[in-house]
Amino acid sequence: MENCNLVKTPLDPNSKLTKDMSPLTSEQQRLMESVPYQEAVGSLMYTAQLTRPDICYAVSSLSRFNNNPGEIHWQAVKRVFRYLKGTAAAKLEFKRDGNSGEIHWQAVKRVFRYLKGTAPAKLEFKRDGNSEIIGYCDADWAADTDDRKSITGYVYFACGGAISWCTKKQQTVALSTTEAEYMSLTAASQEGMWLKRLENELCPMSGKSFTIYCDNQSAIALACSNTYNARTKHIDVKHHFIKELLNDGKINLEYISSDKMIADYLTKAVSTNKQIFCTEAVGIVNC
């Protein structure tokens, strides 16, 4: 990969990876045995989980073929490495001049007091403030052409940068875009509640609720409605968890247009312009 051609997106937005691309004959499987596919995907997964949310969807898609990868899948893996090489100078950056307030500043100082009391090295940082927890949630309906299951994607921000992100295939088949987005909202709300509890432990005076942005008004309406709907009675009970959070005032849902949805590239391969927009939005900048 030393002299490879660089690309601007991790995956080709005009192609879909499917099981049909896997080896069909024993000869094809034998040729792929010498390819370090699982090792490469494992390395990419480590990077995606720690510092590079911009390749999260690509790695999630490629990992589905670990048991029987084909040549096209291997070429897609190498494309991700070509993308990383072209963006090797990029880094995840947190902004110091975010939405700061006295309560958030007290939380920052509480973290410093905790580190001083528990860490012998006494590592010290200085920041001007902190920002509230904000989430962006999206879904790609029936994205997997093999089983027609949808993709959930969400990202949470604090201090002006991404602190938590996820790309995951949903466990059940959604019958509509609304249902896919609704299940994605529930998954995102679970992560948001964990982050909020962590914030409350560090700063008991922090706000009670947090906000999730979604680009599907029907999913928001479904989550906010407490009336019975025959068209949604088949949805698993666990996905209605978000209704309880809304009723208790622990979460706020806000609509945002699709062109401003930062979690978009966590659910699908996107265009170059969208890739750049999402990458910059999560706080990944060139050194």
* pLDDT per residue as tens digits for the range 148-206: 999 999 999 987 788 999 999 999 999 999 999 999 999 999 999 999 999 888 877 77
C-alpha to C-alpha distance for 239 and 256, rounded to whole angstroms:
22
What pTM value is reported for the model? Answer: 0.72
Residue 130 has pLDDT above 80, yes or no: no
Provide the percentage of residues in the chain whose pLDDT is more than 70: 88
- Closest among 107, 130, 283, 133 to 211, alpha carbons compared: 133
List residues bridging with 205 in a β-sheet. Answer: none
Residue 239: which pLDDT band, with cuts at 50, 70 and 90? confident
Q: How far is CA 88 from the centre of its chain?
A: 20
* Average model confidence (pLDDT) across the chain: 86
C-alpha to C-alpha distance for 247 and 153, rounded to whole angstroms:
24
With a CB cutoff of 8 Å and minimum separation 6, the contacts of 267 are 57, 138, 139, 140, 143, 151, 152, 153, 167
Residue 117: which pLDDT band, with cuts at 50, 70 and 90? low
Q: In residues, how long is the chain?
A: 287
Strands 151-158 and 210-214: unpaired
Taking residues 239-267, report their average pLDDT: 94
Query: What is the structure's pLDDT at 154?
Result: 97
Residue 253 has pLDDT above 60, yes or no: yes
pLDDT tens-digit series, residues 53-86: 999 999 999 999 999 999 999 999 999 999 999 9
What does the buried/exposed string (b/e) look like for 38-64 if buried means 16 or more CB atoms within 10 Å of the residue's CB? Answer: eebbeebbeebeeebbbbbbbbbbbbb
Residue 121: which pLDDT band, with cuts at 50, 70 and 90? very low
**Neighbour tally for 74: CB within 10 Å:** 18
C-alpha to C-alpha distance for 268 and 266, rounded to whole angstroms:
6
C-alpha to C-alpha distance for 251 and 191, rounded to whole angstroms:
12
pLDDT tens-digit series, residues 18-44: 999 999 998 899 999 999 999 999 999
